[in-house]
Amino acid sequence: MSFHTTEPAFRFRQGARPLLISMPHVGTHVPPALAARFTEEARQVPDTDWHLERLYDFADALGASVLVATHSRYVIDLNRAPDGASLYPGQSVTGLCPVDTFDDTPIYAAADDGPDEAEIAARRDAIWHPYHAKLTEELARIKAQHGIAALWDAHSIRSVLPRFFEGKLPDLNLGTGKGTSCDPALAQTLRGIAENAPGYTGVLNGRFTGGYITRHHGQPAQDVHAVQLEMTQSSYMQEALPFDYLPAAAAGVQPHVRRMLEAVLAFVETPRG
């Protein structure tokens, strides 16, 4: 099957401070010809990182740059390696161009209707490469201007997903590529905020240690520090259809997320002799 999209790969707003917030899984667009091949369930794109732009509505006030995906992860997953290599070898994962949902149900109505290599390459060229090119470009611009850059990869996921983990996930899951993607002192500061947030649970490099974006773009030796936050959706929204934002719940967790981002900015804006 061929692939064509009329939507741009991302939306972008440039800020004035040395922080880029990336939201690779908030997109919901599926080109109509592709959506026609999906199951009814998959057309609802249930595995979206819903409402993160609203949850992070303080980003502009912080002076951060913001990069937001437009297409559903069912079209192509921007947080996977371009060759489709597994993030967590030996564990259940979804691929670069997924064929099943988080609930292990098929995305495509016909079992043999998934993308072939040519279609995957077309999706990669249309969406994956432009998003990552913008990531690279903006981090380089920030570093050239400020001498240092921070990347925050913002995610959310249902709190209970037996396919991927047992029990209920902690609310605030920080990932630094097991210590490779940012300065350890910054990681420990963030861990303290997450673990001490009243009413919430937090962990550093637990089940989620950061995806491709964090691991690839985080280069602390070159003064580019990357952190992934995987939040439970139960902490700010309905986890089942219609996936509504819950303002009262969100108001509880939002200050802790903002505090973490302020800590990132404090770290990268502290002069180093």
What is the mean predicted confidence (pLDDT) over 159-174? 90
pLDDT tens digits along 175-189: 999 999 999 999 999
**Would you state the pLDDT for residue 87?**
65
Give residue 266's pLDDT band: very low, low, confident or very high (50, 70, 90): very high
Judged by average pLDDT, the poorest of 40-44, 112-116, 142-146 is 112-116
**Would you state the pLDDT for residue 88?**
56
pLDDT tens digits along 67-111: 999 999 999 999 999 998 766 566 656 789 999 999 999 999 998
Q: How far is CA 218 from the centre of its chain?
A: 14
**Would you state the pLDDT for residue 93?**
62
**Would you state the pLDDT for residue 273?**
61
Token digits of residue 191: 């861990």
Token digits of residue 45: 């794109």
Across all residues in the chain, what is the average pLDDT?
Answer: 95
Tell me which residue has tokens 């947080």.
79
Give residue 153's pLDDT band: very low, low, confident or very high (50, 70, 90): very high
Whole-number Cα distances in Å, 148 to 15, 67, 155, 244 = 14, 18, 23, 37
pLDDT tens digits along 125-141: 999 999 999 999 999 99
Q: Which residues contact 154 (CB under 8 A, 6 or more apart)?
A: 21, 22, 23, 49, 52, 56, 229
Token digits of residue 185: 């002192």
**Would you state the pLDDT for residue 236?**
98
Pairing relationship of beta strands 19-23 and 149-157 according to DSSP bridges = parallel
Per-residue 3-state assignment (H helix, E strand, C coil) for the chain: CCCCCCCCCEEEECCCCCEEEEECCCCCECCHHHHCCECHHHHCCCCCCCCHHHHCCCHHHHCCEEEEECECCCCCCCCCCCCCCCCCCCCCCCCCCCCECCCCCECECCCCCCCCHHHHHHHHHHHHHHHHHHHHHHHHHHHHHHCCEEEEEEEEECCCCCCCCCCCCCCEEEECCCCCCCCHHHHHHHHHHHHCCCCCCEEECCCCCCCHHHHHHCEHHHCEEEEEEEEEHHHCECCCCCCCECHHHHHHHHHHHHHHHHHHHHHHCCCCC
* Domains delineated in the chain: 10-268 (3.40.630.40)
Please answer whether residues 115 and 108 qualify as being in contact, where contact means their C-beta atoms are separated by less than 8 angstroms. Answer: no
Is residue 242 left, alpha or beta, with left meaning phi > 0 and alpha meaning psi from -120 to 50?
Answer: alpha
**Would you state the pLDDT for residue 161?**
86
